[in-house]
Structure 1
Amino acid sequence: MKQITKTQVTVRLRKAEDRNEWYLYLEIFPVFIAGKEEPQRVREYLNRSVKTIEWDKKRVARTNLKTGVKSFKPKRDDNGVIICRGERDCETMLYADGIRKLRQKEYDNADLYNESDTLKAQLQEKQKEKFTNYCKLLLKKRHGSANSSDSIRTNWKCLIEFIVEFAGDDLRFSKIDLSFADDFKMYLLSAPYRGKKKGTLSNNTAATYFSIFKAIVSQAFIDGYFMTDLSAKIKGIGDQESFREHLSIDELNLLFNTPCDNDELRRASLFSALTGLRHCDIKRLRWKELDVQTNRIKIQFRQKKTKGVEYTPISEQAIQLCGVPRLPEQLVFENLQDSSWISRPLEKWIQAAGITKHITFHCFRHTFATLQLSLGTDIYTVSKMLGHTKVTTTQIYAKVVDELKDKAAGAIKLNTTVQKKTQEFLQSN
């Protein structure tokens, strides 16, 4: 049978030595502390004081043996709250009693439950919370700063919207289990795109959203919303290799010599093709990050997507595309539009060059990677220049190069018709 400690929490007064006021504190007894054989009396001071206490003249607290002066106990109402004359002191006493109730409940619960029971009780409370609210708080915590990637924030917001569409805004943690995860996975694989884009989500887009869902569930386990690591049991959506559209050297030169209505866009696009930098990194690139030395030009900056500090050597042609140097804190491409606004002017420029491929700004980064590998640069160097954290990410471009090589291998064909006729002639004679 479990022994009940019967700990009692009481509001007490302590007289200030130099003025006519009393400090408030909680007296807690008995408290059993590891390493102590006897029960302890614990005091918790509340950083509050009162002056207008009502004293009970019938209840003597103590008598000074030298002076014979008596002190009395304070009057308390039916609820045990110390009575004061002043309104402000009354409010202070109610505050103190509120803290007392909170502490009393904690000690009472400690008597009623063991550690496992307490954890279960806490879990039950947490599982009543709304899952989408937690998702939004986690988004703000992880990616709320200005340095976070806009695309990552957009993916998180889209995922939350898909969760609401699938299960409603009132989804509670208690409903999240393996069955829910499997059903939500199947939903994403057939869900329609949001916004103006038509059709269902691509396999890789669904995989991205579902991986964020798994990350949220994993963090929720750490934060005590699940008894087990549910995310470790959830099987993700496998990525499908997607085609990385890119430009050939001839097409790149064609673009270079094609006028563009937006010269800043033209220079930034070609700069991306020569350096492999993303749009977000080019847009925030400042002149102080360009280090021009004798026979060596480099950029040293922090990637917005991976947060890694990168050292990237660049060519003289790339630095020429930057234009006339300005103040260190000024942006190199000061008037470069956001990624959501450049699709139409970019498409117009591509069409003017006579190129029929579907080229986005990010395709210039693909172009850099593909051309570097096709020209013989080893994959590890290209991976470092792209700022990839894993070389497996860069291997996607290597497969594109292999396809080009296979195509090129069959480009040279011999005329076997003449050889065949010669063999027939020799055999007949």
Structure 2
Amino acid sequence: MPTISQSSEELLLTQISSEVVSLSPQIDQIKLRMRLAGILSLYDVRPAQLPGAHPDIQDKVRLFLAAKKLEGLSPLTLEGYQLELRIFAEKVRKPVTDITTADIRVFLGDFPDLKTSSISKKLSVLKSFFSWLTEEEIIPRDPTRKIKPPKKEQRMPKALTIEELEMIREACQTYRERALIEVLYATGCRLSEVQALNRDDINWQTASARVIGKGNKEREVFFSFKAMYHLRKYLMNRLDREPALFITERQPYRRLSKRGIQREIHIIADRAGIQKSVHPHTLRHTFATLTLNNGADISTVQALLGHEDPATTQVYAQISDEHKKEQYKKYHVQ
């Protein structure tokens, strides 16, 4: 069993190596690790400890995140893993070899107010973590193996109607507001994808852009004529040199945060008098629903949304089928 210092030294070595390789992929990893190991051998390396968490689990979490970064997981995914595992480490104060299935069940049951989807997310992260520990032979067996994910809530996504979408558009008061609404709706992008866009990402000739979605996967999305018109209008009225597509309205100008975009959409929806809850993902739902209702092929919509699992897109097809049923009842001659 390695000591805390040895484990920490190995962890630091892995983290530094991964950072250097990400900046310069051509570098010889073996030589790099050997030179770093020689330098680190002169020091007693100990990690900073989180309050209340066992040092062993903290070490293993750091190793896990470093390994996943080398596998190419996106910074957003790694950030999510880190947050969930930090909460777990502070609640379950044990070395990883002592953590049982019962410990994990008790931990997951300690969030009675969370939605089923949030519990599933926590379990998914833990399964990934303990599965990796088992594969690396750090622990003899996976304590999450016997835990089944909770049944998913069968809720239909709440899309805007055509009338509500027009009300949202009419409620916009600034160039940025209108451009933001049109881009979110026209592309069907996730909040994080739009937030990360830069001016140079927009191909004005093809009215498209390439975005990085879940799993660090790249896909092409498209802009409608309205989206291109209002986006161009917004950018032409900006005097800054900030590369981000959407920025703050006050100096110092910087990329608009995800929270900032959410707040903007909420303000516009309130101004429009929309009764239902409206957030950036609502416009993604609206894009999918209205596109399918207008006759688009489900596999095309799946590709445009960046869904890996066709079943995820199928939810919108069910809404489309409901629309067809309504049309049948309305127009069918008995």
TM-score of the pair, normalised by structure 1: 0.55
**Which of the numbers 168, 186, 193 marks the counterpart of 1:274?**
186
1:323 paired residue number: 232
Contact 1:283/1:334, CA 8 A, preserved across alignment: no
Question: Percent same amino acid among aligned pairs?
Answer: 23
Greater displacement, 263-272 / 364-373: 263-272
1:68 paired residue number: none
Residue 264 (structure 1) shift: 1.7
1:366 paired residue number: 285
Q: Could you give the per-residue CA deviations for residues 349-375 of structure 1, whole angstroms, max 9, x where no partner exists?
A: 212212111001121111111111111
The answer to which structure has the higher strand fraction is: 1
Contact 2:184/2:284, CA 8 A, preserved across alignment: yes
Q: Within 5 Å, which residues of 2 pair with 1:4-403? A: 130-139=56-65, 141-142=67-68, 148-150=74-76, 153-154=79-80, 156-165=82-91, 167=92, 170-185=93-108, 187-188=109-110, 191-192=111-112, 200-260=113-173, 263-293=175-205, 296-299=206-209, 301-324=210-233, 330-335=243-248, 337-403=256-322
Contact 1:132/1:171, CA 8 A, preserved across alignment: no
Contact 1:297/1:313, CA 8 A, preserved across alignment: yes
Contact 2:289/2:316, CA 8 A, preserved across alignment: yes
- CA distance 1:266–1:315, change in 2 (3 Å): closer
Q: Which blocks of at least 5 consecutive residues in structure 1 are unaligned? A: 1-94, 96-127, 193-199, 417-429
Contact 2:186/2:222, CA 8 A, preserved across alignment: no
Number of residue pairs aligned between Structure 1 and Structure 2: 272
Contact 2:178/2:230, CA 8 A, preserved across alignment: no
- CA distance 1:243–1:159, change in 2 (3 Å): farther
- CA distance 1:285–1:343, change in 2 (3 Å): closer
Q: Could you give the per-residue CA deviations for residues 261-304 of structure 1, whole angstroms, max 9, x where no partner exists?
A: x54233212211111112222222223322233xx4322x2414
Distance 2:176 2:73 in 1: 23
Contact 1:210/1:237, CA 8 A, preserved across alignment: no
- CA distance 1:285–1:345, change in 2 (3 Å): closer
Q: Could you give the per-residue CA deviations for residues 165-205 of structure 1, whole angstroms, max 9, x where no partner exists?
A: 3x3xx3112222333334334x15xx15xxxxxxx000111
Contact 1:276/1:366, CA 8 A, preserved across alignment: yes
- CA distance 1:147–1:339, change in 2 (3 Å): farther
- CA distance 1:331–1:342, change in 2 (3 Å): closer
Contact 1:287/1:328, CA 8 A, preserved across alignment: no
Distance 2:157 2:179 in 1: 22
Contact 1:139/1:153, CA 8 A, preserved across alignment: no
- CA distance 1:328–1:338, change in 2 (3 Å): closer
Distance 1:235 1:176 in 2: 17
Distance 2:61 2:318 in 1: 37
Distance 1:181 1:354 in 2: 44
- CA distance 1:161–1:141, change in 2 (3 Å): same
Distance 1:308 1:342 in 2: 23
TM-score of the pair, normalised by structure 2: 0.69
Q: Within 5 Å, which residues of 2 pair with 1:415-426? A: none
The letter of the residue matching 1:273 is Y
SS at match of 1:257: helix
Q: Could you give the per-residue CA deviations for residues 135-184 of structure 1, whole angstroms, max 9, x where no partner exists?
A: 2443355369999354762464145314523x3xx311222233333433
- CA distance 1:226–1:257, change in 2 (3 Å): same
- CA distance 1:147–1:172, change in 2 (3 Å): closer
Contact 2:61/2:85, CA 8 A, preserved across alignment: no
- CA distance 1:154–1:252, change in 2 (3 Å): same
